[in-house]
Structures are given as structure tokens and as C-alpha cells.
Chain A
Amino acid sequence: MERTDLMELKKAIDLGFRLFSRKYGDAIESFFDPLLFFLVRLEKLLLATPWPIIILVVAILAWLGSRSWKLVAGSAVAFMLIGYFGMWEDTMATVAIITVCTILCIAVGIPIGVLMSKSDRTEKTILPILDMMQTIPSFVYLVPILMLLGIGKVPGLIAVCIYALPPVVRLTNLGIREVDKETLEACDSYGATPFQKLTTVQIPLSLPTIFAGVNQTIMMALAMVVIASMIGVKGLGVPILRAISNQYLALGLMNGLAIVALAIIFDRITQQYGKRMQKHRGIQQK
């Protein structure tokens, strides 16, 4: 391509997007307002709640998920250490965005996964999109997100979700496709409608796999915390960015370890929960 043509093309793309965001930016922004409202509320709630209650809630969740005293004690101690080292507020902000992101990804991802499992053609169209979402460098889509939504929580959340959504979609698809053919035959012979088949047989049987997807989504969302902080999301990423640009070793290490602690706690709880589901249903883990 000629140099001038190439430049014209780049300029045209930039201009086109700018016009688009000028025209629809506000509409798109107000579309996401409920999400922002929810996110702000959740963060305020987490911050306003006294820390012993939060730790208690975490411990209860850990118990419900894993039924393991070790994990309960470990989570409580980790959160206490986070508070002791003065990272409580940032951690709560991070927990809030991870929670909302996970809920959003589940709400969007599971239906897409179900659709994909129903038709090979849908699967073939969606798979490359998922590949792209996972591999495209996040800095590339930060620019259009910034132009459309500015800085703050919602654009950060979207950036995180773009990266964290694929696992739950993939594993939902996989889980439903792997449901035993004979079980499905039995359903059909009893005259179950497709909807009944999906909600009472396919989804319940594939729940452990779906849960593995949710687990991966949470892990990937946590990995994106620092990137999200680059567009104005409060949380553990902010001190890490500060540490990078000032070479503060201790600050970076402490906040990095706090993210690791969160990741391990979330990971163990969800994984144990997934395993227990499998045990309960009498399915051997492969």
C-alpha cells in the first residue's frame, strides 16, 4: 500500500470512530449506568462494612464452598494480613470490580455458551471471536473504550470482561457438548422438550465444567486488575502502577501478593465447590 494511502486509511478509521463516539458515546454511556450504579454501591457497601463482618462473610463463603477448615482459616488470615498492611480499601475496590465482572461474565457468557453448543455453525463463528478477545493486546482496545466511555469504573470493567469472558463461554459449550449421549436419548424418549432437556439435564450435568470456566474467568479478571487501573479504576492496581514508575519494590510486592492472595482464595473456594458438585453427582473427575 502506498504511504499516503495508508495514512489516509488510518486517518479515516480514526475519524470514523471519533464520529461514532461523538454520536453514540452518551447513549452507550447511559446504557451502562445501571452497571456503574451497582458497582459504586457494592464498593461503598464493602468499604462501609466493618472488617470483622467482611472476614466473617469470606470465612462463611469459604466454608460453604469447600467445607475445609484449612481454607476458612487461611482466607481469614490472608484478609487480616491485607488489612494489617494497609491495603484494605484497595482490596475491597478490587473485590467489588472482580465480583461485578464475574457476575456479568456469567450472565453474558453462559447463554452464549449454550447457543454455541446447540449449533456447530454458531460455534464456528464465535470461536475465532473468543480467540481474538483472549489474544489481542489489551492496550489496543483501551483506546476505543477510552474514547467511548472516558475513564473510570465502567470502561475498566469492560476491558476486564473482554479478557475474562472467553473461558466461561468455552467451558459452557464444552460441558454441554460432553453430556452423555445415552442420557440425552433417555430424555428424548420420555418426551422432554428441548428447554426441559437443557435446564434439567444438560446444564446440571455440565455444571462442574461450567464452574471450571467461572473459576478461570475470575483468575483472568484478577490478572487484568493492573491494566484496568491504567484507565482510572481504583484498587490494588493503582499502587502497583505507582510502584512500577517509581521503582518502589516493597509497595509493588505487597500489593502484588495481595492480588495473589485474593486469587488463591477465590480459586480454591470455587475449585473445591466444583469438585464437591461432581462428588455429589457421582461423576468421577477425569
Chain B
Amino acid sequence: MKYLKIFPPSLAIILIGLSSVFFSAQANAECGKVVIASQNWASAELMAEVDKVILENGYGCEVELIPGSTMPTFTSMDEKGAPDMNPEQWANAVYTPLIKAVDEGRLVIANKAPIGGLGEGWWITPGTIELHPEIKGMTAVEILEHPEWFPDKEDPSKGAFHGCPAGWGCQLVNANLFRAFDMEKKGWVLVDPGSAAGLDGSIAKAAESGNPWLGYYWNPTSIVGKYDLQPVPWGVDFIGRDHWDNCIVKPEQECADPKPSAWTHSEVNSIITAEFAERGGSDIVSYIGARTYPGTVMNGMLVWMGDNQAGGSDAAIEFLNNHEDVWSTWVSSSVVDKIKSAL
């Protein structure tokens, strides 16, 4: 008897629940459920959260974020067709399999450059420019003639060039470029900062005290934004994939004669599964294609996240509130209104 008494109201609740699912499914017919990979670093988190807000409010999707990381996320998308989208896929890490997956129609590169001003390379602190104004506009090749501008703490007669911590891929590249540019003879030492914290710390220390600093870093990062690091143009061309892949990225003993080269082009894509490209429709695909964060805006957001120790979801709201000029160009005006009313 007890069950019978309870049955009608619970049935009603289930019916209401079902109908609401039904109706919302009706409303979202053009999009449905979307699973987006939220990778475990700040810029990827931010992009995933912004996509979530825009797709949910602008296009009526139902978005679920799942944690991810470069290789596992790619493998899962390639093999299983899920998640539906990775907003920030570093392409160099998955170069060959990505091309294959695109050729075979499993994945679609929806945006070839979602973040502007991207890349690895050599940077200087603003303090360097203050002390030696003539450095402005100089290329790496020219700067390397002036080791005296970057005195090494332990041997002030030499110039300090900060490479990568031991064990990072870029450590080999920097060591080989160090030899390629003949830097030892020019009076440089290659400083091994020991760890990510060491590299960041050496930049923070130099930038805080206005000292000169030359070394490796990459963009987009909060360090570049926070300390306003200036990229150094190379002054030489990229040597070509062949020499880069077979010599520059190899250990010293496998690269007897490295040649001077600019850093290889780093490529970040937004990739989606072919199935989602079809299901989502042209509106959503063109939104993803148009969605490019200018480098300075991205760095500004990363600094804001660091300063406020904020996660991706807070940062997405902050971004949508303060950078309407950026994101309003990604979507149609009716979608802009929908998102603004939702904020």
C-alpha cells in the first residue's frame, strides 16, 4: 500500500523530468550534447570554459567538460571519437597521426591558429631594453655579439644564456643552437636552470630587479604576460624540417654539425571529430574557425588567472565580460545578444 501511495507523485516527477529533457532536446536539436576536453594547463582550461559558455548560451548546446592532456585526449578522439572537441591541441606532438586522422576523415582541424603570437623562442626582459636601448629591433644573431650585456653571476666576464632545464626536449634544441651559433667562442655560457621553477625564478628575479636576461621561453604563458618579456627575432631562417628533426632536436652526439636556425613553427589547432562537425552544423564549425585569441589578450588572461589564483570557469566569465571586442567578432550578432543576456 505504501508503494501505491508514493507511486503517483513519483511518477509525476519522472514524467516532468522526462518532458523537460524532451523539450530541452527539442530546443537543442541543432547541437545536442557536446563533450569538450579541458586540458590541464591554464590557457586550455580557459578556452574550454569559454567554448562551454558560448556553445551553451549562444547555440543551445549541452556541454560537458572532461579533463584531458595532449596525448591521451588526442588518442581518445582519434580512436573512440570522444571527446568531441579539443580547443588547444599542440600539433607538433601528434604531427603524423593527426595528418593521418584528418586524411582518413576521423578528425577535422576546425581552427589552425586559435591563439595568436604563439611559439617557442628566445626572449629578453624589459630591463634589458632599458639598460641597452640599442637592443630594440636587434636580431638574435646581432645580440649574440654582445655577451657583456648579460653578465653571468658566476663568471661576469661571460654572458649568460638561460636554456631549458635538463630533461626537456628544448634543452637539446637550445644546446645545439648554442653550438650552431658558435656562442661559446663569442663568450657565452649556457645556464641550466635545473627545473621549471628555476627557469621561471630566474626570469622573475631579473624582471623584478630590472636586470638583463636572455633565454628560452614560450608563449602563451603568464610569465611572458606578467613580466612583459620581449621576443627576440632570429635573424636567420628556419633551417627546414629535415635538419631540425634529424639533428637539432637530437642529443649532441647525434648532431655533429648543427646549423643556425630559427625555432620551428609551433602549431596549435582546435580539432573536432568529424562526427561532431556534421552534428554541430556549419554555424558552430564557423564559430570555432573564427575563434582566435590575440596573443596579448591570452597572456593578459593568464596573468589574471595567476594573480587571482582563478580557475578556468572564473576566467571565462572575466574574459567574456571584459573582452567583448574580441569574442563578438567570432559569432553572429544575434548570438552575441544571447550570450550577453546570459552573463
Interfacial residues, chain A to chain B (CB-CB below 8 A) = 7, 10-11, 18, 21-22, 25-26, 36, 40, 139, 142-143, 146-153, 229-234, 237-239, 241-246
Contacts and interface: CB of A to CB of B under 8 A. Distances in A.
B198 A231 contact: yes
B201 A231 contact: yes
B191 interface: yes
B282 interface: no
A238 B167 CA distance: 9
A146 B204 contact: yes
Contact of A241 (B194, B307, B308): B194
Contact of B194 (A10, A18, A143, A231): A231
A25 B202 CA distance: 13
A59 to B, nearest CB: 30
A20 B209 CA distance: 11
Contacts of B204: 146-147
Interface string B147-167: 000000111000000000111
Contacts, number: 91
A25 B194 contact: no
A72 B9 CA distance: 89
25 contacts: A7-B309, A10-B309, A22-B208, A25-B205, A139-B197, A142-B201, A147-B208, A150-B153, A151-B194, A151-B201, A151-B202, A151-B205, A152-B154, A231-B194, A231-B195, A231-B197, A232-B202, A233-B194, A238-B192, A241-B194, A242-B166, A242-B167, A245-B165, A245-B167, A245-B168
B233 interface: no
B187 interface: no
Range of interface residues on B (Cβ < 8 Å): 20 to 34
Q: Top 3 nearest A-B pairs by Cβ distance?
A: A245-B167, A146-B201, A150-B205
A154 to B, nearest CB: 8
A40 B189 CA distance: 15
A238 B205 contact: no
B208 A26 contact: no
B166 A238 contact: yes
B206 interface: yes
Interface of B: 153-155, 165-168, 191-195, 197-198, 200-202, 204-206, 208-209, 307-309
The DSSP consensus for interface residues of chain A is helix
Contact of B193 (A139, A147, A151, A239): A151
Nearest to A142: B197
Contact of B154 (A7, A18, A40, A242): A40
A161 B191 CA distance: 23
Nearest to A150: B205
Contacts of A21: 205, 208-209
Contacts of B200: 146
A142 B209 CA distance: 18
Contacts of A25: 205, 208-209
Contacts of A7: 308-309
